[in-house]
């Protein structure tokens, strides 16, 4: 029993180190990438000529909240010994609300982006114009409001719950809310995007193969970038969603310490991988598409040329 406890504590220590090292790397990489996404898809004409760019920007904004708020508290806890969720009740409530809502916005906007890309590559002219700029803006606004409303029970029912005579945790004592928060993550963050993106991936791939000649080169390049990003989301979403389902199904089982330790390490690695794949779309686009890199270089060159011309003599 003593050996199992030592192994458990050792695994928890490894998990804390992973949270800090990998978590900081993900925050830095995803923050730069998400801001770059917002900039290039709003400022570069060749990349923002379709309403699809709005969904990519919305996904990046949601990703900023989802990743940064979701990872910063455990990193601060390990580095300083102070858990913001335990120290401040308002942060306990606000962080879980904004993190869940940001993730909801990010994943749903990714589904909208996949839908829009399928419609753009369709041979049906009416389908190509189905999502307009006005409709895309309305969809974005409505999605943001719905995501905030869906998770409004969390800040209401989450509180500082005593776990022993000396410790407390940021959690909910309401069993329905506990199940709601767990299953909402699985459905909205993983299963729904997996199903939608898988179907649209196949349909867009079919359109790309049969209708590429009808589109300009940039359309084909953007479509390929979207297909690669869809693949990345599926690679992380399927195992993470499956393992979270297993944890929810077995949460009331009595488990030995070693099993708890291994489950903790596995879900930590999967969640970190899920955070990473959610925040690296810009870097995926950069490395996967020569056309994407070319458009950014041309924009930067024109901006430098304009800056040099406007510089006072």
Structure tokens at 173: 């004592």
Distance between CA 307 and CA 257 in Å, rounded?
62
Structure tokens at 77: 């806890």
Are 279 and 63 contacting, i.e. CB atoms less than 8 angstroms apart? yes
Q: Summarize pLDDT for 261-274 with one digit per residue, the tens.
A: 888 899 899 889 88
Q: Summarize pLDDT for 201-230 with one digit per residue, the tens.
A: 788 877 777 765 554 444 555 566 666 777
Distance between CA 49 and CA 51 in Å, rounded?
7
* β-bridge mates for residue 168, sequence order: 162
Are 224 and 201 contacting, i.e. CB atoms less than 8 angstroms apart? no
Distance between CA 293 and CA 60 in Å, rounded?
19
User: Which range among 43-47, 107-111, 195-199, 227-231 has the greatest average pLDDT?
Assistant: 107-111
CA 193 distance to own-chain centroid: 11
User: Which range among 12-21, 22-31, 216-225 has the greatest average pLDDT?
Assistant: 22-31
CA count, 13 A, side-chain hemisphere, 259: 7
């Amino acid at each position: 029993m003593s050996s199992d406890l030592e192994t458990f504590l050792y695994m928890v220590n490894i998990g804390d180190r992973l949270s800090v090292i990998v978590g900081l790397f993900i925050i830095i990489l995803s923050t730069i990438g998400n801001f770059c996404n917002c900039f290039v898809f709003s400022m570069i004409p060749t990349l923002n000529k379709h309403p699809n760019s709005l969904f990519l920007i919305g996904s990046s904004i949601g990703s900023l909240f989802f990743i940064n708020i979701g990872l910063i508290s455990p990193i601060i806890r390990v580095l300083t010994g102070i858990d913001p969720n335990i120290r401040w009740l308002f942060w306990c409530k606000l962080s879980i609300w904004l993190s869940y809502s940001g993730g909801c916005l990010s994943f749903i906007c990714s589904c909208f982006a996949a839908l829009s890309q399928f419609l753009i590559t369709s041979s049906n002219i009416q389908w190509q114009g189905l999502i307009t700029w006005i409709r895309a803006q309305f969809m974005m606004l409505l999605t943001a409001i719905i995501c905030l409303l869906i998770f409004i029970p969390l800040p209401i029912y989450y509180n500082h719950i005593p776990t022993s005579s000396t410790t407390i945790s940021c959690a909910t004592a309401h069993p329905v809310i506990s199940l709601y928060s767990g299953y909402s993550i699985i459905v909205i963050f993983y299963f729904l995007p997996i199903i939608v993106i898988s179907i649209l991936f196949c349909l867009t791939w079919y359109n790309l193969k049969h209708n590429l000649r009808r589109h300009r080169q940039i359309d084909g390049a953007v479509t390929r970038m979207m297909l690669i990003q869809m693949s990345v989301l599926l690679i992380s979403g399927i195992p993470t969603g499956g393992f979270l389902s297993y944890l929810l199904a077995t949460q009331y089982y009595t488990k030995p310490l070693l099993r708890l330790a291994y489950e903790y390490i596995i879900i930590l690695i999967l969640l970190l991988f899920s955070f990473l794949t959610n925040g690296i779309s810009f870097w995926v686009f950069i490395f996967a598409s020569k056309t994407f890199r070319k458009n950014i270089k041309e924009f930067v060159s024109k901006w430098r040329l304009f800056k040099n011309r406007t510089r006072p003599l």
